[in-house]
Amino acid sequence: MTDLKSKVEALTPEAILAAYQLVQPFVHSTPLLTNTTLNKLASTPQTPESLIGTPYEGQPPAKPTFRFFFKCENYQRIGAFKARGAFHALLRLILERGESEVKKRGVITHSSGNHAQALALAAATLNIPAYIVMPSISTPSKIAGTRSHGAQVIFSGSTSTEREAVVAEIQAKTDAILVPPYDDFNVICGQGTTALDMEKQYRALVKESPHLSRHSADVCRAAPALDAVITPVGGGGLNAGVATFFSDKKTRVFGAEPSFEGADDCRRGLLAGERIAAVKTLTIADGLRTPVGVLNWEVISDPNKVAGVFSVTEEQIKAAMRLVLERMKVVVEPSAVVGLAVCLFNEEFRRMVEKEAPQGWDMGVVFSGGNTTVEAIGKLFS
């Protein structure tokens, strides 16, 4: 597949299933957790004061009903969902090009941290040399994690353009094969296995404990569908993969972004009707500082695949992260909680849920990663 149209057409639930079968021996089936306290908090109207300065000031706050199912990819290998895409991409490379060629040339990518660590791990597992271009401002723990798997780390500027320039320079010297961090068919299919895993676990969980779902016990014994799933959106690989898996199902897919310094490029692009190619932001959600990839945009901008993308502030991200840490006892990084923050604080989204689902939603929320440190968390809340 070389042209964009053929790649988009090939992104099907069947492609996700094929990826799942290939990567299953190499990745974890991470937990799917519920939390009654967060259900109650999200199903309680926001205070009128919290809506001051928004388009909803002076209006009664929305009262949606949520039953959350948290897919904890922070417990994935290297602490993030990115392991799925990295392993799938390398396994496909070996199948398509042959093990000897891939091992001779090695692989290269650019990433602020989680894809860097994921590709380093996958390459080490499969005995492939790896070159990783990372912004010099990357979190120290993510740099250390990448190096711990034996990858060669090369530093760059923080923007995608600066990273890609260094990648091209290293490729010219080494002939390493590029494995993009998100804008790649095989990476997208790998990330989409998160959704397949989630659906299987959800059905098993509500079959055993139907009180956790909005559905009747009879439906729970059959094969119920999550009403909706929300994921973070940075480069868009996770969101596009999840949307691909659920594209012919009853589950609606949403995206979540930080709004700080224009980090919500996907949301703004959807409003403008065209992809925004460059982003420069220092949002605390450091894994979401990149623009949506070209292939991912084709999926996410299709309203039949993704029903909408919503944004949240830095303070809302921190508030959601605090709740996850204190109420769920789960360690997550800021990027991981933007989806939960949308459910808790984005009044536009909350009004939509209330209007479209008076009975409430069984809502899948993907916690994308947990690569942070005690020091970073302390600094965030100091």
Name the phi and psi angles at 256, rounded to 5. Answer: -135, 140
Per-block average pLDDT, block size 10, for the chain (382 residues)? 86 97 97 98 96 93 98 97 97 96 95 89 97 91 91 90 92 94 93 98 96 94 94 97 90 97 96 94 92 96 96 98 98 98 98 95 98 93 92
Query: Which residues have a catalytic role annotated?
Result: 82, 112
Query: Rounded distance, CA 89 to CA 19, Å?
Result: 9
pLDDT at site 2: 67
Distance CA 275, CA 267 (A): 10
List Cβ neighbours of 375 (8 Å cut-off, separation of 6 or more): none
Sheet strand arrangement including 107-110: 152-156, 130-135, 107-110, 177-178
Distance CA 156, CA 164 (A): 9
Looking up tokens 């602020």, which residue turns up? 112
At 142 the pLDDT is: 84
Q: Phi then psi for 105, rounded to 5 degrees?
A: -85, -35
Report how far residue 191's alpha carbon sits from residue 293's, in angstroms, rounded to the nearest whole number: 14
Would the pTM of this model clear 0.75, i.e. be above it? yes
Q: pLDDT at position 1, please?
A: 59
Please provide the DSSP assignment of 360-372 as one string. Answer: -EEEEEEE-B---
Question: Can you list the domains of the chain with their CATH numbers?
Answer: 4-80+185-380 (3.40.50.1100), 82-178 (3.40.50.1100)
Cα end-to-end span (Å), the chain? 50
Q: Which residue has the tokens 């939603």?
A: 361
Residue 55 has a pLDDT of 94
Q: Which of 69, 62, 32 is nearest to 339 (CA)?
A: 69
- Residue 158 confidence (pLDDT): 82
User: In this predicted structure, what is the pLDDT of residue 113?
Assistant: 78
Q: Cβ(289)–Cβ(334) under 8 Å?
A: no
